[in-house]
Amino acid sequence: MEFKALHIPTLTEEVATKLEARFRCLPGVEQLTITLETQEVDIVFDEDQVGFQTLAQELEKAGCPLRGISAALFI
């Protein structure tokens, strides 16, 4: 499954570094792509290993709460 967050105003270089550190160790996350210029985060994950609630919690801990995301897609 893929979760794509579009236009995240809180996405800074510091937050991106925190996201990379948190998601690198998270079982089930297959790919994390962060684009600072467009303030986007794309997470490809195995939903049998990690649930969306866990992803949302990790996003918030890194400084990207869901309520701050302008648009998001599940693909």
Walk along the chain (75 residues) and give the pLDDT tens digit of each residue. 999 999 999 999 999 999 999 999 999 999 999 999 999 999 999 999 999 999 999 999 999 999 989 889 988
Q: Which of 73, 62, 50, 69 is nearest to 16 (CA)?
A: 62
Side chain identity at residue 53, one-letter code: Q
Q: How many domains does the chain have?
A: 1
pLDDT for 70 equals 87
Q: Which domain holds residue 39?
A: 2-74
**Residue position matching structure tokens 């979760």:** 3
Report helix angle 13-24 to 52-62, nearest 10: 140
